[in-house]
Structure 1
Amino acid sequence: MARDIVIWPHKVLTSSTKPVTDFGPPLETLLEQMAESMKEAEGIGIAANQVGESLRVALVGREDGTFFEIVNPQILEKKEPVTMEEGCLSVPREWEKCPRFHKVKVRYQDKSAEWHELEAEGRLAHVLQHEIDHLDGHVFVDHLSSLKRTLILDRMKKLQKVKARQKG
């Protein structure tokens, strides 16, 4: 069952997440719920804190449309600065140019607790950086000018109020 996606600046999105230590059925259930939420929102990645869980786990979309989980990820290397158009499920309908890196090397666990290292470039590197930022308590708007961030913040606060009224 899909969970609601949390809208920035909700506190769960601005705080660093906790490492995953339990690789049992609750993690599998969370990953399924995250996948459903991401599909409903037509996303290419989602972090656990975007569905209200402060855990260091995310789903990352590959170029071929498939997804894989990253648990307790760390970025080991970043190369070739680049600016890319970026949006976010937790900052709906907002797109801005964001500084990232064309190539990254990431170390992470899968849902079975096995460690992997991955060198990625282009879109996959972009999605990895975006999702790991979430797990570190950052949203892409944190990379923007204070003026752009303030304008987007005002729109997100209005959106949060509308959603609260719809639920209430």
Structure 2
Amino acid sequence: MARDIVIWPHKVLTSPTKPVTDFGPSLQTLLEEMAESMKEAEGIGIAANQVGVSLRVALVGREDGTSFEIVNPQILERKENVTLEEGCLSVPREWEKCPRFHRVKVRYQDRTGEWHEVEAEGRLAHVLQHEIDHLDGHVFVDHLSGLKRTLILDKMKKLQKTKARQKDS
């Protein structure tokens, strides 16, 4: 069952997540719910804190439409600055140019706790950085100018109020 996507600046999105230590059934359920939420929202990645769970877990979309799970990820290397158009499920309908790296090397665990490393470039590197930023308590708007961030913040606060009113009705 899909979980609701949390809208920025909710506190769960602005605080670093906790490492996963239990690779049991609750993690498996969370990963399935995150996959449903990502599919329903038509996203290319999602972090656990975007569905209100402060754990270091994310799904990362590949160019072929498939995705893979990263648990307790760490970026080991970053190479070649690049600026890319970026959006976010937690900052709906907002797209801005964001500084990233063209190539990254990431170490992470899978759903069983086994460690892996991936070297990525282009779109996959972009999605990895975006999702790991979430797990570190950052959203892409943190990389923008103060003015752009404030304008988007005002829109998101209005959206949060609208959603809260809809829930109450």
TM-score interval, smaller chain: over 0.9
TM-score between both structures, scaled by the size of structure 2 = 0.99
Pairwise mapping of residues 1-168 of structure 1 onto structure 2 (< 5 A)? Answer: 1-168=1-168
Structure 2 counterpart SS, 1:150: helix
User: By how many angstroms is 1:57 displaced?
Assistant: 0.2
Residue identity matched to 1:44: I
User: By how many angstroms is 1:112 displaced?
Assistant: 0.5
User: By how many angstroms is 1:124 displaced?
Assistant: 0.1
1:55-91 CA distance string (max 9 Å, x none):
0000000111001000000000000000000000000
Query: Equivalents in 2 of 1:101, 1:150: separation in Å?
Result: 25
Residue identity matched to 2:79: K
Contiguous gaps of at least 5 residues in structure 2: none
Query: Equivalents in 1 of 2:24, 2:63: separation in Å?
Result: 29
User: By how many angstroms is 1:157 displaced?
Assistant: 0.0
Structure 2 counterpart SS, 1:112: coil
User: By how many angstroms is 1:163 displaced?
Assistant: 0.1
1:25-52 CA distance string (max 9 Å, x none):
0000000000000001000000000000
Question: Runs of 4+ in structure 1 displaced over 6 angstroms?
Answer: none
Query: Equivalents in 1 of 2:46, 2:106: separation in Å?
Result: 17
Structure 2 counterpart SS, 1:28: helix
Structure 1 counterpart SS, 2:130: helix
User: By how many angstroms is 1:144 displaced?
Assistant: 0.1
User: By how many angstroms is 1:152 displaced?
Assistant: 0.0
Contiguous gaps of at least 5 residues in structure 1: none
TM-score between both structures, scaled by the size of structure 1 = 1.00
Query: Equivalents in 1 of 2:26, 2:42: separation in Å?
Result: 24
Residue identity matched to 2:49: N
Identity %: 89
Supply the RMSD in Å over aligned alpha carbons: 0.2
